[in-house]
Chains A and B, each alone.
Chain A
Amino acid sequence: MIMLEKRAQPSRVWTLAAPIFAVLLTMICGGLLFAALGKDPFETIRTIFFDPLFSEFAWFYRPQLLIKGAPLVLIAIGLSFGFRAGIWNIGAEGQYIVGAICGAAVGLAFYPTESIFIFPMMIAAGVLGGTLWALIPGILKVKFDTNEILVSLMLVYVAEQLLASMALGALRNPDGMGFPGSRNLAKYDSATSWISENAGMHWGVVVALIAVIFAYVTLSRHLFGFNVRLAGQSPRAARFAGVNPSTLILICMGISGGLAGAAGLFEVAGPAGQISIDFNVGYGFTAIIVAFLGRLHPIGILLAAGLMALTYIGGEIAQSNLGLPGAAIQLMQGMLLFFLLMVDVLSNYRVTFRRARVI
């Protein structure tokens, strides 16, 4: 019979192979699903995974991958610090919203003044907003030992209410004829995060790449990175090594909140353009999948975000060109995480075939 035997050390080969294997399994099962829906599975898989990169209109879709991927990378990089240390910030979506609100508020306060100082101030406000929002569950955990998973998640819903009230109240466009939503920041030269709209380049893309490099160096070369990894693998050992768990919690929550806030600011000042009631579209939650799919490794996260962006954009093409229902795409994205967790068993366990011993 098939037995699972725990490995002493997680298998290095399987750790790296698992994501690739999960993607292949998703393609196969996704293909079966699409076939069951009466679509050509090969054409559908090609449309989702290859058309955005290599089709006739790839010149349009490639920049879109940057736009869709940048916030995922930024948020997932921030989350990866905490996740490595065993600190579970599930509320990046809320920090993303608050960052966007704070940053946009600064920009809107200066409207219509033009100055090169406005955008840096917006970034600062966005980062600060996200950081402070993330520090609420952090401080509650340190002071009162509350569960950061619950508190950070609940604060997402608070942030959504705050967003609705801002879009209808304080930040509402005075020239908007009574409709909700702020002025369009993408049309305000001093406040926009766009560098080149047609190339898909905005400051969020640049900062996301910097964050990847920065995280890579910190995690592999810096004492802080070592402490983070140690705290995750062995909290007792970390304590003996002089790591203060409270400080670590606050720093990890702060980093993830700050980066999520920055992602929100870059989004609201560029691709989204305005604070509206449904400004957030779930980047904060998708980034959790991205972080794990990327093995909490900066380069892995970059690749995983690219893959997720691909399925979003390819999924839309499949919907409009092949008439695939939207839910089928979401199912396939869900499969990706499901198969990854499944294949992950192989990196921690060895599969052996033998007779069960009768005792």
Chain B
Amino acid sequence: MTIKSIMAGATFAASLSTAAFAEDPTKVGFIYVGPVGDGGWTYEHNQGRLAVEEAFGDAVETVFVENVPEGADAERVLQQMALGGADLIFTTSFGYMDPTINVAEKFPDVKFEHATGYKQADNVSVYSARFYEGRAVQGHIAGHMTESNVIGYIGSFPIPEVIRGINAAYVQAKAVNPDVEFKIVWAYTWFDPAKEAEAATVLIEQGADVILQHTDSTAPQAAAQAAGNVVTFGQASDMAEFGPFPRVSSIIDNWSPYYIARTQAVIDGTWESTSTWDGIGSGMVGIGEITDAVPAEVKASAEALRDSLASGEYHAFTGPLNKQDGSAWLADGETADDGTLAGMNFFVEGLTGEIPQ
């Protein structure tokens, strides 16, 4: 008997046993790219896991592995979870895309949910949040708050997700403050407090008095606090401990409703492969409390922007907008389509610097 047929046999046996013991708790697995205590991205996914535990009690058992490198190790951890009897597995980082697809092929009865990717299969769903809607609100506040007209931006990796955020923030900042200028530093990490602090310090030294971050640690908040007069926004998590100043608002990832809904679907047997991209409207993207450090009229206009994004009456990318090279992108009143947004690899007009290639 070849290994493959043993494997198939094992999978078959596993599926039989889940059917036979329907009373068993549904097992939900999570793999995390960072530590659960990162205070940002992984922390919020873990909050989602805890919410699932709370919502279902004994009917669900959750397991997780943290700090899993994206690549061969992820594939092993996923297989191990599937072998361990997981019914549903959330893979919470972009780099888990290929490993998720590979393992899903071998375990057709296990459901997989991959965050922020684009490869779907019969038992692989993809989900992500329209963080750029939150970025638009940040850009609006940032444009009002800056006095030096220099806004610093700590980018993680030059991928569509991050580029979209920069563009969304810039468009709104420019709308309220035509003199605004963005300085972007690429940190090439999602979580590295030392590097992030260094990036924040460099930006502050270059005159930035507002810092936006697309990295997950609170180090830039601490750097801004030390500088004294620099505004920041919480990323992925509320980071409220740095409020009311320097942190004046935040983007909060709220995965709990989605995780609970998908777990429910597995329990009910109604799970289907889907592609979800939700924003402020569904609550997947939350805007953290805007503190009193922000003038009342700015707070009001920011909340109005938030509400119009949530209701769908306004789109964060509404024309007229040109690309950085001056070529036309969106005509007056036209809004960006999801395909272009998903693969966004260009800056909008007015941004300086190049996307690293």
Contacts and interface: CB of A to CB of B under 8 A. Distances in A.
Interface of A: 57, 59-61, 64, 67-68, 161, 164-165, 168-169, 177-180, 184, 196, 198-199, 267, 271-274, 276-279, 281, 312-313, 316-317, 319-321, 323, 325-327
B68 to A, nearest CB: 8
A64 B80 CA distance: 11
Given A179-B160, A198-B4, A274-B98, A168 B76 contact: no
B71 A271 contact: yes
**What class of interface size applies to chain B in its complex with A?**
35 or more
Nearest to B163: A178
A320 B70 contact: no
Q: Which of B35, B159, B342 has the most CB of A within 10 A?
A: B159
Nearest to B66: A326
Given A180-B157, A320-B65, 19 more contacts: A60-B7, A67-B72, A161-B188, A168-B157, A169-B357, A177-B118, A178-B160, A196-B3, A272-B71, A273-B71, A276-B71, A278-B70, A278-B95, A281-B69, A281-B71, A316-B65, A316-B68, A321-B84, A327-B35
A178 B344 contact: yes
Nearest to B67: A326
Interface in B129-168: 157-160
B63 interface: yes
Interface in B61-113: 63-73, 75-77, 79-81, 83-84, 94-95, 98
B45 to A, nearest CB: 14
A48 to B, nearest CB: 13
Contacts of A60: 7, 79-80, 83
Given A168-B357, A198-B4, A320-B81, A279 B35 contact: no
Nearest to B33: A278
Contacts of B356: 165, 168-169
Contacts of B77: 316, 320
B353 to A, nearest CB: 15
Contacts of A178: 159-160, 343-345
Interface of B: 2-4, 6-7, 29, 35-36, 63-73, 75-77, 79-81, 83-84, 94-95, 98, 118, 157-160, 188, 342-345, 356-357
Given A313-B76, A316-B76, A279 B71 contact: yes
A168 B345 CA distance: 11
A237 B86 CA distance: 62
19 contacts: A57-B84, A59-B6, A60-B79, A61-B80, A67-B72, A165-B356, A169-B356, A169-B357, A179-B118, A180-B159, A271-B72, A272-B72, A277-B157, A281-B69, A312-B73, A316-B68, A317-B80, A320-B65, A320-B81
A199 B63 CA distance: 27
A199 B76 CA distance: 13
Contacts of B345: 178
B63 A320 contact: yes
Nearest to A272: B71
B16 to A, nearest CB: 15
A258 to B, nearest CB: 22
A159 to B, nearest CB: 13
A267 B72 CA distance: 9
A150 B148 CA distance: 41
A315 to B, nearest CB: 9
Contacts of A161: 188
Contact of B98 (A61, A184, A316, A320): A184
A281 B73 contact: yes
B107 to A, nearest CB: 12
